Chain A
C-alpha cells in the first residue's frame, strides 16, 4: 500500500508528557499537511509543508506544538506538556505540487490525554 501512513495509530498519555507522531506521505508528494479533528467536528488545519519548508501555521498550533519535515520526506508532530484539551485525532495529508484540492489523508493518530 503506497498511501499515507501514520504512527502510532493510538497514543494514550498522561497530562504533562510529551508525545511525537510520525507521518509518511506518498513518496512523490511534496506538500504535506497536518490537521486535528475532535469528535463531531471536521478536521482543522494545523500546518503545511512544501518539501522541507514549513510555510503556514494555524494559530491553533500553540508554542507547545512543533512540526518538522527534514529532507522533505516524512514529518513529525510533537506536542510538549500535553493537556487534556489536546485529545483528538491528528491527521496527516499529502498532495503533489499541482494537486489542488485533492489531498490524500492517512488514517490518523488518536491521542488521549488522561
Chain B
C-alpha cells in the first residue's frame, strides 16, 4: 500500500475554504485515493474517493493531478463542526484479492476557529 504524507495540523476560520494536500509518490496504477473524517470519540467516516481529475459530493471536493502523486481535499466554507481529523488513504480496494483493510496515517487535525 502506498504511503501517504499530509500536514499534521491546520487552522482555519469559519466560512473559509480549506484545502488539505496529501502526497502519495508511490501510488500504484490500480490505487484509489480516499479521505476519511474523524470527530473526537467517534469512528472515522468516509468522505470522498477518487481515481483521477476531480470528484465532488455534497461534503467535499477531491482534486487529483494527472500524475496522481498528490491529492487535495477541499472543504468549502468550513464551520466549527468541521473541526476533526482528516485522513488520506491510498489503496487498491477493488482488487479481488484485497481484504479491504485500511491503512491510516496520523491524519491532519483541522481546527476551525470562530
Q: Which A residues are within 8 Å of any B CB, using their own CB?
A: 4, 31, 33, 35, 40-45, 48, 50, 55-56, 91-93, 95, 99-108, 110
**A-B contacts besides A93-B43, A100-B93, A105-B43, 5 pairs, CB < 8 Å:** A33-B102, A42-B107, A45-B102, A95-B100, A104-B46
Q: Across the two chains, which residue of chain B brings its CB closest to A4?
A: B43
List the B residue with the shortest CB-CB distance to A98.
B94
B109 vs chain A, min Cβ distance (A)? 9
Is the beta-carbon distance between B87 and A101 smaller than 8 angstroms?
Answer: no
A48 touches B101 (CB 8 A): yes
CA distance A108 to B41 in the complex (A): 8
Partner of B101, one of A56, A91, A92, A107: A56
Task: Choose among A56, A99, A105, A110 the residue that contacts B44 (Cβ–Cβ < 8 A).
Answer: A105
Q: Within the complex, what minimum Cβ distance (angstroms) separates B84 from chain A?
A: 13
Q: Chain B residues near A56: list those with CB within 8 A.
A: 99, 101
Residues of B close to A4: CB separation below 8 A? 43
Interface 1/0s, chain B 20-39, versus A by CB < 8 A? 00000000000010100000
B81 contacts the other chain (CB 8 A): no
- A101 with B104, Cβ < 8 A, contacts A48-B99, A107-B43 known: no
How extensive is the interface on chain B, given as a class?
20 to 34
**Chain A residues, CB < 8 A from B41:** 107-108, 110
Contact A107 B44 (CB under 8 A): no
A105 to B104, CA, bound (A): 14
Distance in Å from the Cβ of B21 to the closest Cβ of chain A?
A: 17
A101 touches B100 (CB 8 A): yes
Contact residues in A for B99 (Cβ distance below 8 Å): 48, 50, 55-56
Tell yes or no: B76 within 8 A of A by CB: no
| Residues of B95-109 whose CB lies within 8 A of A | 99-107
Residues of B within 8 Å of A102, CB to CB, are 34, 46, 49
User: What are 30 A-B contacts defined by CB distance under 8 Å?
Assistant: A31-B100, A33-B101, A40-B106, A41-B106, A42-B87, A42-B107, A43-B44, A43-B102, A48-B99, A56-B99, A56-B101, A91-B43, A91-B44, A100-B32, A100-B49, A100-B93, A100-B94, A101-B32, A101-B46, A101-B89, A101-B93, A101-B100, A101-B102, A102-B46, A102-B49, A105-B43, A105-B44, A107-B42, A107-B43, A108-B43
